[in-house]
Chains A and B, each alone.
Chain A
């Protein structure tokens, strides 16, 4: 085989790689922040007495979970301007990731809420706490503690899936890879390096979130 590997060819773009990594992480952080907030509301709504609210949340969850992320993103970026909602690439990517993560997180949190014994909220109510406080202070923390690993997994998946946002010209890690390989014609080496960066990010992200969760949750549990 006559092919000479040249990994150094991508090394000179260190600053660019750093910038792409920052964009990928920033998008993940935004999506996690807003997506999880949305998901808490959505998961709470699945316990609503009003059937139409439950139906609405269920429809949202099923629609997102049964269509590809890239199609959702294209719909938001290319389709929504027809309704007069024109978003730049970065906000469109952040919105698509938020909407996507929220749907999966609702499903995860719902399972967590179901795992909390009914006696917990009954005890809170019998102490005279308002239902909202019972949910926020008693039920939700216990539910999150149960499903925390699944949430971490979903956030990691969101980070990895965000590689697709390069397709609407967001300058994330993958977009940087496309740029570098168009300059040095070393596509295999470039994509290999970027893949390894993603691998590192996924491992570190999982570790950091697990440690953070340990601190947040461990002391409160039982």
Chain B
């Protein structure tokens, strides 16, 4: 058996970090796109569409991510699609983040008083113009802190992709731990790596939130 120095372990873990980041980024971008689409459908005129989206959000928020992952991993082959761990993780986390993001953004749009819509209408703007010019710019400010906060949750969620065999940080840790019998050091370092990724985001989200809370009261 090879002897692993601390540097060997660290180096191998560092090599796995980009895969965690990549999975997070794809899930966030894909989830953002789907979430935006769902947002537009949800605030549209169709009541049944809104109900369907509420149900979609509820399904993702009230079931374990691990089960969602298994369903995609074992479900897609039934549609004749050959799934790698990579594809399953990407699809699953994209859907998962789309549900959370659309819920966050819907909440932000709902937080804008109806008078703003009416104000837009009274100026002769049609629905999409009211949305684009009046409501969304205001809603976006409210939405940014919780969206960044969700990004932290998403990065942490990518750790579950290790269970279906996707080689990111946690999976690499498991392999290293089996090879070196140094789980204490390895899982400690992995936790540290996640912390280094997530904490700046948490901090950023909190700063933005504070700034938003103070926005209504300019210093006098």
Contacts and interface: CB of A to CB of B under 8 A. Distances in A.
Interface of A: 1, 3, 62-63, 65-72, 74-75, 78-83, 156, 160-164, 166-167, 174, 177, 181, 187-188, 191-192, 194-195, 198-199, 202-203
Given A66-B152, A66-B202, A82-B184, A71 B62 contact: no
Given A70-B160, A71-B170, A71-B190, A187 B184 contact: no
Given A71-B170, A195-B67, A202-B63, A63 B195 contact: yes
Nearest to A160: B64
Interface range on chain B: under 10, 10 to 19, 20 to 34, or 35 or more? 35 or more
B107 interface: no
Contacts of A82: 182-184
Interface of B: 59, 62-68, 70-71, 74-75, 78-80, 152, 156-157, 159-160, 162-163, 170, 173-174, 177, 182-184, 186-188, 190-191, 194-195, 198-199, 202
A198 B64 contact: yes
Interface centre among B152, B191, B202 (most CB of A within 10 A): B191
A3 B76 CA distance: 12
Contact of B187 (A62, A74, A162, A164): A74
B102 to A, nearest CB: 18
Interface residues of chain B: helix, strand, loop or mixed (majority)? helix
Interface residues of chain A: helix, strand, loop or mixed (majority)? helix
Contact of A192 (B71, B152, B157): B71
A158 to B, nearest CB: 11
B2 to A, nearest CB: 20
B64 A174 contact: yes
A101 to B, nearest CB: 15
A111 to B, nearest CB: 12
Contacts of B190: 71
Interface centre among A65, A66, A69 (most CB of B within 10 A): A66
Given A78-B187, A163-B64, A187-B70, 16 more contacts: A1-B78, A66-B152, A68-B160, A70-B160, A74-B174, A74-B183, A78-B183, A79-B186, A160-B63, A164-B163, A187-B74, A188-B78, A191-B70, A195-B68, A198-B62, A198-B67
A62 B202 contact: yes
Contacts of B173: 71, 74
Nearest to A157: B61
A163 B67 contact: yes
A87 to B, nearest CB: 13
Given A3-B78, A191-B74, A68 B63 contact: no
Nearest to B78: A3
Contacts of A81: 183
